[in-house]
């Protein structure tokens, strides 16, 4: 008799019903099938998990492995931007650009409210209702594109557009869209809604090579972004949809039409009234025409080189210069017109002009007659012999040595080796004033000898002529050493400014694209380099040169002072002069050093100077020099220098001594320094 199962027996054991026989083999088969099913399920699950892991890794590698990191907020503005420079004139207007155009970073609060609203209306009307991604717009775009069978609608928000601009390309790929959304979320969390909008406005491309709202406003309308009108803001807001199509410089009517649509969208959202939209549509939108650098090329070259030196490896810069565009144009025209009308007949093909303000700011600088002929800057790179335009520095050194303007100096011909400088004055005596008015060579040599060439060279360096030698010969009296027009012009500033000078400068400040000032010209003021009373005496003498001397052609109806200069065989002709308001220098000659046909400093250079001064003073009241400075003082005359028989020709021997012809004097500037030095040391 079989016993019933007891409590605690295996619950899985089959019940022994009457009439049924227990089969252990069947139980084993059933267990085996269950175990096999479990193993299959486990294997399938493991395989599925493996597939998911592999797919996940693959997806990560495809979509996220190269996902860029979002850098610090400070570096986002300049990320992935090609280097570019924007050059501003003295008033902050765009003078020229090189490379991509970047304006000054602009904050939302500095813009009229309608500027940001115009862009939101055009690009992302629900900007203040969604987050970084507008999923409703994404769904709507998917449906529209599927129905059309091609991309006819986009769903990118301003945040996504910014992410694409900062980190990604513009390819229409799923990978790019996934990354765009992820990066947009990160930017949104880091910057906030208004931060995203502000960065977008400072980064977006708006046609004409301009990136950002400020650069676009200056490029298209010639004004900073904060001065945009509603109509102008709408035109700019319409550009991002298709910069090539709606660039106002390329297609003005299309840009205006797109701008009107933006105004309608703004009115529909209630951000402006219908009356405001209608009024904006009636406003006249005036473009700033694109133009080449032209006559500004030389100053842009100079400013670009200095800005890079000051700023280092900054990606892009805004460079504020001291240039006055109207004066730059006037200087270029006065040079070009004079050379075109008179230069060919006189074999004068080139020239240069410099105009300085009383503080040393370069208001105009023209490096040649035509910038298309090459970048060589004849105002700063060409070193030429100044001739008699250097004489005021000799006279200034003589005053320091004790001479006075009334001092009588012999015009008796002097001889050094085989050379005797010609002179317009015959034998006799002239006061220093009269000698400067007549540009006496013999008096210049005597003054340099008395004051010493070293004193003359030292004063020249003090006045900014860096090329003045440390061990000069007496040839310095006649301007035998080479210098540049800019240096020589600036050397007259102490005569204009009562003995004070400032280093000429072109760059006012260098800014980063975020508006940060990287470098600014130091406001150190002028430096005293010459006695004020002697500067007044020099001013009086130089005024006489213009009133009745070699500079008469420079007269233009206002107080003016200056000096002419002509190098050997008329190779270089100069005029440097000043008024109470301006200081300017002009050089005329040929690049290859060929002589001109009689061009002198009192001719073409003085005429060019006069034309420039008429333009520069057109809007200025008539002013005279400071009375105390102009009057100067009567200096105590120094004792008459003893004549050196070895240096001054004996009148009885004039016929016996050879006098060089004009042709023979061609080699004068090659031998004069050595001859003077040898004679002075005998």
Residue 2, in any domain of the structure: no
From 216, 249, 282, the end of a domain falls on 282
Question: Is residue 433 scored above 90 in pLDDT?
Answer: yes
Query: Mean of the per-residue pLDDT values for the chain?
Result: 81
- φ, ψ of residue 389 in degrees (nearest 5): -70, -15
Domain of 263 in residue numbering reads as 106-282
Are 260 and 381 found together in one domain? no
- Residues of the chain with pLDDT > 90: what percent? 52
| CA 277 to chain centroid | 38
Give pLDDT tens digits for 371-429. 888 889 999 999 999 999 999 999 999 999 999 999 999 888 776 555 566 666 666 88
Integer Cα distance of 419 and 440 in angstroms:
16
Structure tokens at 28: 């084993």
Are 257 and 367 found together in one domain? no
- What pLDDT is attached to residue 154? 60
Q: What residues contact residue 142 under an 8 Å CB cut-off, 6+ apart?
A: 155
Are 556 and 659 found together in one domain? yes
- What pLDDT is attached to residue 463? 96
Which has the closest alpha carbon to 438: 369, 584, 541?
541
Average pLDDT over residues 226-251: 94
- What pLDDT is attached to residue 477? 86
From 282, 317, 342, the end of a domain falls on 282
From 282, 313, 348, the end of a domain falls on 282
Residue 476, in any domain of the structure: yes
Structure tokens at 164: 């694409």
Are 423 and 562 found together in one domain? yes
- What pLDDT is attached to residue 155? 64
Residue 32, in any domain of the structure: no
Integer Cα distance of 227 and 111 in angstroms:
8
Which has the closest alpha carbon to 142: 131, 130, 132, 155?
155
Question: Is residue 659 scored above 80 in pLDDT?
Answer: no
Residue 240, in any domain of the structure: yes
pLDDT band of 490, cuts 50, 70, 90: very high
Are 516 and 443 found together in one domain? yes
pLDDT band of 151, cuts 50, 70, 90: low
Top-confidence residue, 55 or 29: 29
Residue 41, in any domain of the structure: no
Are 353 and 272 found together in one domain? no
Are 407 and 465 found together in one domain? yes
Are 256 and 399 found together in one domain? no
Residue 99, in any domain of the structure: no
- What pLDDT is attached to residue 296? 94
Q: What residues contact residue 316 under an 8 Å CB cut-off, 6+ apart?
A: 78, 81, 82, 83, 84, 85, 86, 99, 100, 102, 512, 513
Residue 295, in any domain of the structure: no
Give pLDDT tens digits for 620-646. 999 888 754 544 433 333 333 333 322
| Residue 179 belongs to domain with CATH number | 1.10.3810.10
- What pLDDT is attached to residue 145? 58
The structural domain count of the chain equals 2
Least confident of 172-176, 269-273, 638-642: 638-642
């Amino acid at each position: 008799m079989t016993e019933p199962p007891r409590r605690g027996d295996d619950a899985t054991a089959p019940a022994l019903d009457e009439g049924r026989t227990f089969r252990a083999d069947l139980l084993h088969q059933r267990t085996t099938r269950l175990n096999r099913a479990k193993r299959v399920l486990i294997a399938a699950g493991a395989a599925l998990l493996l597939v998911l892991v592999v797919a996940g890794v693959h997806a990560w590698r495809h979509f996220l492995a190269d996902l860029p990191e979002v850098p610090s907020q400070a570096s986002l503005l300049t990320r992935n931007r090609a280097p570019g420079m924007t050059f501003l004139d003295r008033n902050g207007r765009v003078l020229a650009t090189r490379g991509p155009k970047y304006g000054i970073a602009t904050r939302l609060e500095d813009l009229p409210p309608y500027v940001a609203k115009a862009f939101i209306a055009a690009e992302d009307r629900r900007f203040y209702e969604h987050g970084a991604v507008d999923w409703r717009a994404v769904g709507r775009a998917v449906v529209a594109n599927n129905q059309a069978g091609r991309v006819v609608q986009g769903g990118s928000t301003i945040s996504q557009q910014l992410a694409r601009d900062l980190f990604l390309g513009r390819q229409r790929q799923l990978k790019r869209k996934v990354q765009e959304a992820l990066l947009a979320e990160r930017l949104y969390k880091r910057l906030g809604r208004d931060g995203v909008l502000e960065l977008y406005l400072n980064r977006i491309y708006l046609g004409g090579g301009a990136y950002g709202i400020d650069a676009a406003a200056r490029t298209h309308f010639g004004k900073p972004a904060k001065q945009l009108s509603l109509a102008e803001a709408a035109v700019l807001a319409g550009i991002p949809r298709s910069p090539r199509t709606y660039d106002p410089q390329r297609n003005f009517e299309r840009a205006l039409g797109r701008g009107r649509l933006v105004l309608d969208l703004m009115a529909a959202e209630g951000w402006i009234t219908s009356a405001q939209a209608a009024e904006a549509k009636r406003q006249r939108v005036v473009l700033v025409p694109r133009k080449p650098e032209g006559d500004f090329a030389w100053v842009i070259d100079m400013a670009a080189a200095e800005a890079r030196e000051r700023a280092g490896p900054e990606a892009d810069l805004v460079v504020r210069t001291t240039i006055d565009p109207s004066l730059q144009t006037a200087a270029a025209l006065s040079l070009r017109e004079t050379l075109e009308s008179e230069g060919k007949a006189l074999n004068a093909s080139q020239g240069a002009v410099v105009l300085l303000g009383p503080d040393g700011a370069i208001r105009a600088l023209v490096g040649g007659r035509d910038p298309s002929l090459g970048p060589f800057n004849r105002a700063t790179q060409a070193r030429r012999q100044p001739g008699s335009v250097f004489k005021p520095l000799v006279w200034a050194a003589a005053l320091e040595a004790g001479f006075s303007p009334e001092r009588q100096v012999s015009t008796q011909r002097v001889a050094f080796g085989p050379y005797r400088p010609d002179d317009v004055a015959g034998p006799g005596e002239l006061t220093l004033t009269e000698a400067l008015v007549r540009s006496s060579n013999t008096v210049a040599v005597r003054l340099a000898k008395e004051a010493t060439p070293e004193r003359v060279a030292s004063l020249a360096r003090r006045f900014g002529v860096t090329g003045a030698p440390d061990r000069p010969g007496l040839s310095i009296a006649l301007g035998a050493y080479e210098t540049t027009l800019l240096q020589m012009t600036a050397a007259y500033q102490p005569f204009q400014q009562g003995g004070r000078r400032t280093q000429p400068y072109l760059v006012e400040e260098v800014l980063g694209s975020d508006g940060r000032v990287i470098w600014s010209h130091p406001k150190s003021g002028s430096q005293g380099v010459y006695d004020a009373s002697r500067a007044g005496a020099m001013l009086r003498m130089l005024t006489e040169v213009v009133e009745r001397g070699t500079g008469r052609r420079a007269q233009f109806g206002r107080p003016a002072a200056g000096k002419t200069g002509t190098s050997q065989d008329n190779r270089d002709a100069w005029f440097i002069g000043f008024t109470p308001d301006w200081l300017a220098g002009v050089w005329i000659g040929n690049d290859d050093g060929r002589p001109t046909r009689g061009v002198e400093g009192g001719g073409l250079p003085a005429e060019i100077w006069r034309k420039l001064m008429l333009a520069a003073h057109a809007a200025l009241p008539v002013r005279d020099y400071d009375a105390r400075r102009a009057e100067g003082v009567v200096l105590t005359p120094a004792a008459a220098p003893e004549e050196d028989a070895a240096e001054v020709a004996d009148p009885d021997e004039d016929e016996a001594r050879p006098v060089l012809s004009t042709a023979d004097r061609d080699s004068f500037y090659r031998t004069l320094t050595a001859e003077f030095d040898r004679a002075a040391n005998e």
